[in-house]
Structure 1
Amino acid sequence: MEIGFCGPGLMGAPMIRHLLRAGHTVHVWNRTRAKAEALVAEGARVADTPRELARRCEAVLLCVADAAAVEDTVFGAAGLLSGDTAELVRLRWIVDHSSIPPAATRAFAQRAAALAASSASTSAAAQQGVSGARIGWIDAPVSGGVAGANAGTLAVMAGGTASDVAAVEPLLDAYASRVTHMGEVGAGQTAKLCNQTIVTATLAAIAEAVSLAQRSGLDAAKLTEGLAGGWADSVLLQTFVPRMTQTGLEPIGAFRTFQKDIDTVAATAYETGTPMPVSSTVQQLLRLGAAMGLAEADLSAFIDVLQTPRGTSGG
């Protein structure tokens, strides 16, 4: 299949590599062209605009920063669905791996469907034998981090029609160990919010445990070994205790990503009337971290928020 991919970042680049190894032709676009060109040696083809992808590809995958970036990539001046809708006869699916609000996902899917419906009635579409053309929107946020993207073992939470999810699942299998259809459009994003709620609360607790160990005179790095196999053990514990107790490790994501997602959790909790006291506390920790200048720090920066030197806070 000819595939388009927008957003070859820390997560997107390894996902593209897996698609290329699986034998797909992958056209890549990124705001910073150099990031797309870095994949040419591995077989990727660089596009000048998202619009080019929509004219060449059956499926276009997105892995961008936020809802504003998704909207601009799809509906902007040179976006996937910009210009003459009669040229959309090839595009069948938009798969959004970005983490954005469920309500925004549903609104974008409706806009895409309306544009596809208008293209179906054009003479260009009729000449190519297209009847009832449609564009299926699949929200497919992922979990597993950069390590999972590199290993091809991501967990994908998908929202959309069952037929659309089934149609793109062979593509997603190139870099995912599991694809779960969670429900209609927006359900994948809601599942990702649940994931981020658990992840951020757990990392905040790990940071507190590391701080307690350090201030009690323990070698906090030994927590990975000391807690291994017990109820407190987890992939997060084994991944982030080293990141909170060592220096010089390559970052695996920006702290601001958590803040964006937990702000979305808070908004969704308000919309649904869901009490979330733990998540609310985590949200304040994330805001404090941003105020401390940690927005671009590694995801493990919870520990930096808690590492107020003794004697500076009345302790």
Structure 2
Amino acid sequence: MTAPPPSVAFLGLGLMGAPMAARVAAAGLPLAIWNRSLDKAAALAGPAMRAASAPADAAAGADIIALCLLDAAAVEQVLFAPDGALAGAGPDALIVDFSTIGVAATRDLAARAGRAWVDAPVSGGVAGAMAGSLTIFCGGDAADIGRARPLLDAVAAHVTAMGALGAGQATKLCNQIIVANTLLALAEAVAAGHALGLDVSRLPGALAGGFADSPPLRQFGAAMVSDAEPTPRGRIATMAKDVEAAAEALAGTDMPLLSAARTLYRQALALGLGPADLARLPRLYAKTGED
């Protein structure tokens, strides 16, 4: 007899969380959803997704509590507040954290929660979330990762168990070092194209298929060279947060590219670009050049 699919409480419906929750519902897993702005959950609710009034309400009866939140402070609040998920969760509920919060915070929060926890930060952006083709890096007990597989398979095409609790976060920090620097390289290439007198609108297509091609180029290149408002893919402030987390975790280790990226993302924040989409990173070079 086939076991019924696990029920899921999905907490956090931002740029990544909303399409991921939709993929979970499409996979047929019983689903309750919650977001800090309740109207967002209400707008997504339907026969396959029950909108909950609080994290505790969403977690009641759930086999898996899935978190997709901005940072460690948000994870702590959503879990441990008086109406937080742990107030409503059963003792055997598994926490699966898709957020990027760093190794130390993951281990600390998991110890405080005192229950099974899988750290499962994701890569692939909004496009990957919408397509259910994300890449996920998992840390935690192998049996717990196995319990989470129906949820993971609903949102991802590539799942790798990286080791003990926190290993998923460590892998995501390595991922973000690559992505953060790649996005800066793309922005710098656009600035170089302007300086060299190119029609930069042709640059992304010209680079496609060569060694400079990459998923970031395909997802952000056209928007970087356009004045049109970009489709939201991720905020500069969020990437800056991840770069800071990587730099803090690697303090005392010589990481010149990470150090340079940290400086540039801090400059972007100082210039007021934090709320802007990552496709607006070329503005960092334009504004720096004006000063």
Same fold (TM over 0.5): yes
Q: Which amino acid aligns with 2:113?
A: A
Note if 1:36 corresponds to 2:41: yes
Counterparts of residues 24-173 of structure 1 (less than 5 Å):
24-41=29-46, 43-82=48-87, 88-89=90-91, 91-113=92-114, 135-173=115-153
> Quick one: distance in 1 between partners of 2:167 and 2:131?
25
The Cα offsets for residues 152-196 of structure 1, whole Å up to 9 and x where unpaired, read as 100011110011011111211111001110111111011111111
Find the counterpart in structure 1 of residue 249 from structure 2: 268
Give the RMSD, CA atoms, in angstroms. 1.5
TM-score, structure 2 length as denominator? Answer: 0.94
Pick the aligned partner of 1:259 from 240, 243, 246.
240
Find the counterpart in structure 2 of residue 177 from structure 1: 157
Note if 1:289 corresponds to 2:268: yes
Residues 61 and 90, structure 2, Cα contact 8 Å, conserved in 1: no
Q: How far is 1:52 from its partner?
A: 2.1
Pick the aligned partner of 1:242 from 222, 231, 239.
222
Query: SS at the partner of 2:32?
Result: strand
Find the counterpart in structure 2 of residue 20 from structure 1: 25
> Quick one: distance in 2 between partners of 1:163 and 1:41?
32
Q: Sort the Cα spacing of 1:15 and 1:309 in 2 relative to 1 into closer, same or farther, 3 A.
A: closer
Q: Which amino acid aligns with 2:250?
A: A
Residues 221 and 241, structure 1, Cα contact 8 Å, conserved in 2: no
> Quick one: distance in 2 between partners of 1:194 and 1:23?
33
> Quick one: distance in 2 between partners of 1:59 and 1:239?
31
- The range that moved more, 2-11 or 228-237, is 228-237
Q: Sort the Cα spacing of 1:241 and 1:112 in 2 relative to 1 into closer, same or farther, 3 A.
A: same
Query: SS at the partner of 2:254?
Result: coil
> Quick one: distance in 2 between partners of 1:306 and 1:173?
40
Residues 56 and 84, structure 2, Cα contact 8 Å, conserved in 1: yes
Find the counterpart in structure 2 of residue 278 from structure 1: 257
Q: How far is 1:42 from its partner?
A: 5.4
> Quick one: distance in 1 between partners of 2:33 and 2:128?
21
> Quick one: distance in 2 between partners of 1:92 and 1:150?
26
Q: How far is 1:233 from its partner?
A: 1.4
Q: How far is 1:138 from its partner?
A: 0.5
> Quick one: distance in 2 between partners of 1:309 and 1:23?
50
Structure 2 residue runs without a partner (length 5+): 1-5
Query: SS at the partner of 1:147?
Result: helix
Q: How far is 1:229 from its partner?
A: 2.3
Q: How far is 1:55 from its partner?
A: 2.5
Q: Which amino acid aligns with 1:102?
A: V
Query: SS at the partner of 2:283?
Result: helix
Q: Which runs of 4+ in 1 moved over 6 A?
A: none
Residues 99 and 261, structure 1, Cα contact 8 Å, conserved in 2: yes
Pick the aligned partner of 1:210 from 190, 193, 217.
190
Q: Which amino acid aligns with 1:75?
A: F
Query: SS at the partner of 2:8?
Result: strand
Find the counterpart in structure 2 of residue 307 from structure 1: 286
Residues 152 and 177, structure 1, Cα contact 8 Å, conserved in 2: yes
Residues 66 and 100, structure 1, Cα contact 8 Å, conserved in 2: yes
Query: SS at the partner of 1:53?
Result: helix
> Quick one: distance in 2 between partners of 1:82 and 1:20?
24
Percent of residue pairs bearing the same amino acid type: 44
Q: How far is 1:263 from its partner?
A: 0.5
> Quick one: distance in 2 between partners of 1:257 and 1:305?
16
Q: Which amino acid aligns with 2:102?
A: P
Query: SS at the partner of 1:218?
Result: coil
TM-score, structure 1 length as denominator? Answer: 0.87
Structure 1 residue runs without a partner (length 5+): 114-134
> Quick one: distance in 1 between partners of 2:205 and 2:35?
41
> Quick one: distance in 1 between partners of 2:19 and 2:55?
20
How many aligned positions are there?
Answer: 285
